[in-house]
Structure 1
């Protein structure tokens, strides 16, 4: 279109106007981009650090209570629940562990687990003879993946201890599970509890005072994982109401971090809104004054037959070009400032975490918002162009 070509030529001929408006954009956008990037980077780093520990999503019933499968089964279908497993009584969830060929014994906590447990890495499966151990236990007993091990009960009053042979399916990293612990299917813990309850275990050559077939399964508690941090508090409250027991979870820490994220977003949103008002006003007056300064030129263009609606595009085209240049320069300025900030302050973040972070989707959203703001303020100047009376303007000029 003719008017687009004329607007572009005029903009680059009058470079001072372009440079001033671009400088205004860069001066406002670079600090905002840096603040937004730091907020995203720091909050994401803290969030990922919390999510790296699966216990952040865990809810445990406190103390020893008695539940049946009928009590636990409905919980598995609740929305927001990622994993549920029953627990045995706390006095029976410790065993001695040793490497099959070793002599050193180490007391370890037995934790019920299974498919879907966030603590287990993808692809790792458990079985009665394939268990997962913590890095602390593996380090103490010199265990590695595939190594054979033995679980030995601690009942001093029994003539024979229960010894279970198994293999290390995986060694968890330190951040996934601290201390000395073994993850096993609930059936393994249930078997150990039956031993402590003096039931006969003929498959293991142990005679007890009660036949195993008379045993009625009872759970000493449950361990539940939420799918997302945002669902932890609500799930904990619902679980306490459903089971009528107290629970343990990192709800306060999680809510504190989520609250920090919300407050930072609110503060940044308020800052961005105020900056947008100032930026829109500054550029709006700039485009308006430029149109007023070029009334004679625009009136001449109107006289050659260009309609008012097309003339309205004159300041809008110039605003779009100014916006594109401002966005490119602002992004370059943000990248430079981000690298400087990373070198100065990035050492306090977890390894590999970026101090500033803006995703491609957020970048596109920022760009669209800036262009929309410029089009709106330039459209006001364009509206004034439509009201130009060429004859009147040219008489005033002559």
Structure 2
């Protein structure tokens, strides 16, 4: 234990005594490691930002039907039971899923042919911040629709539905309340989220069926199980989109999704990873080879001094530890210097792209675990590079030092 402590002290004193040579070693490592940290920071920051935008944007997990079909309650129950489905809800015919007019009586502003989208609990468009619209008189507006109407959450509007029935044009009006306004990054088009019962009621009215809950006249509802023309479906994650789209296509259902954009992001991630690891391998291999050669030259240059240490009783393990300890010093100081270079450079890069980033996003970013992993990898790499020099130091015989005594 005493020999180990003493050889570490001697390795440090020798490292400090030859400070110019030691500084060159440290700067050489910094020159290799700092660009790798910046490159990996860009790779992680860019891909992580794109991935988070894909994950956080509900539109990227949405799978919609192309055209109309007939989906019964059994189909929706089966889809709801799937673990890769986060949300699914029936939807009516496209022509029936709109309000003829939505008017703000206070200002006179109005919207015509406003699209209605069925919503409910766990709707990804609502997230944790909005309560799903309930009943036949609540709706959540997109920010563009709310802006044109000049309303905010808690205000009331007048809704109107028109139909052609029995050769006459008819219409009904009723009062609705705005329970929330979606942010523009969630929904940019003019639309309103409504409960499924309200969407069904408007479809029935247009079909000439009575809606007793709202006092709308018409024929008696048919006594058959209801089926729906469309659906709203969201995958549990972007990784589930491909499987869901494949399964739905296998059922003969034509669907649309953001699978191409998801595939592009995943391809970008793979290609950037390949580029990074190739550059990291070439740069690291070159530096470690250089460090190994320099440490070996250092052992050869100090052959006489090391042989004297062996002569006075230092064991073989202590002599092996001498170049390894100096390599660890180079690795630690070089890694710290590389991090000190990375920090201001990453801040500058993030500043250049600040207008393209959303709050909390970074174009160049490393997590603490990445920095710790880089430090540990550098230490192990330096220790491995010192193995050659350590092997040479282990072959020093005590007799080598006798000639110089």
Tell me the TM-score normalized by structure 2.
0.91
Number of aligned positions between the proteins: 394
Q: Is the 8 A contact 1:53 1:177 kept in 2?
A: no
Aligned equivalent of 2:401, options 387, 394, 398? 394
- Residues 98-123 of structure 1: per-residue CA shift (max 9 Å, x gap): 23555443121111112222111313
Q: What is the match of residue 264 of structure 2?
A: 256
Counterparts of 1:79-158 in structure 2, within 5 Å, are: 79-95=83-99, 96-99=101-104, 101=106, 103-106=108-111, 107-126=113-132, 127-128=134-135, 129-157=137-165
Aligned equivalent of 2:34, options 30, 33, 54? 30
- Residues 369-389 of structure 1: per-residue CA shift (max 9 Å, x gap): 111111111133222222211
Q: Kindly indicate whether residue 66 of structure 2 is the aligned counterpart of residue 66 of structure 1.
A: no
Q: Which runs of 5+ in 2 are unaligned?
A: none
Counterparts of 1:182-201 in structure 2, within 5 Å, are: 182-201=192-211
Q: Kindly indicate whether residue 282 of structure 2 is the aligned counterpart of residue 274 of structure 1.
A: yes
Q: What is the match of residue 223 of structure 2?
A: 214
Aligned equivalent of 2:8, options 4, 8, 16? 4
Deviation at 1:151, TM superposition (A): 3.1
Q: Is the 8 A contact 1:99 1:147 kept in 2?
A: no
Deviation at 1:395, TM superposition (A): 4.7
Q: Kindly indicate whether residue 218 of structure 2 is the aligned counterpart of residue 226 of structure 1.
A: no
Q: What is the match of residue 356 of structure 2?
A: 349
Q: Is the 8 A contact 1:97 1:150 kept in 2?
A: yes
Q: What is the match of residue 82 of structure 2?
A: 78
Deviation at 1:253, TM superposition (A): 1.7
Q: For residues 396 and 236 of structure 1, do their structure 2 counterparts lie closer, same or farther at Cα, with a shift above 3 Å needed?
A: farther
Q: What is the match of residue 213 of structure 2?
A: 203
- Residues 73-96 of structure 1: per-residue CA shift (max 9 Å, x gap): 122232332211121111111112
Q: Kindly indicate whether residue 182 of structure 2 is the aligned counterpart of residue 172 of structure 1.
A: yes
Tell me the TM-score normalized by structure 1.
0.92
- Residues 270-302 of structure 1: per-residue CA shift (max 9 Å, x gap): 111111211211111111111222122222222
- Residues 109-161 of structure 1: per-residue CA shift (max 9 Å, x gap): 11111222211131321112432110111011111011112332121446653
Q: Is the 8 A contact 2:307 2:397 kept in 1?
A: yes
Q: For residues 249 and 317 of structure 1, do their structure 2 counterparts lie closer, same or farther at Cα, with a shift above 3 Å needed?
A: same
Q: For residues 240 and 297 of structure 1, do their structure 2 counterparts lie closer, same or farther at Cα, with a shift above 3 Å needed?
A: same
Q: Kindly indicate whether residue 45 of structure 2 is the aligned counterpart of residue 41 of structure 1.
A: yes
Q: What is the match of residue 330 of structure 1?
A: 338
Q: For residues 164 and 396 of structure 1, do their structure 2 counterparts lie closer, same or farther at Cα, with a shift above 3 Å needed?
A: farther
Mean Cα deviation higher: 36-45 or 166-175: 36-45
Q: Is the 8 A contact 2:54 2:238 kept in 1?
A: no
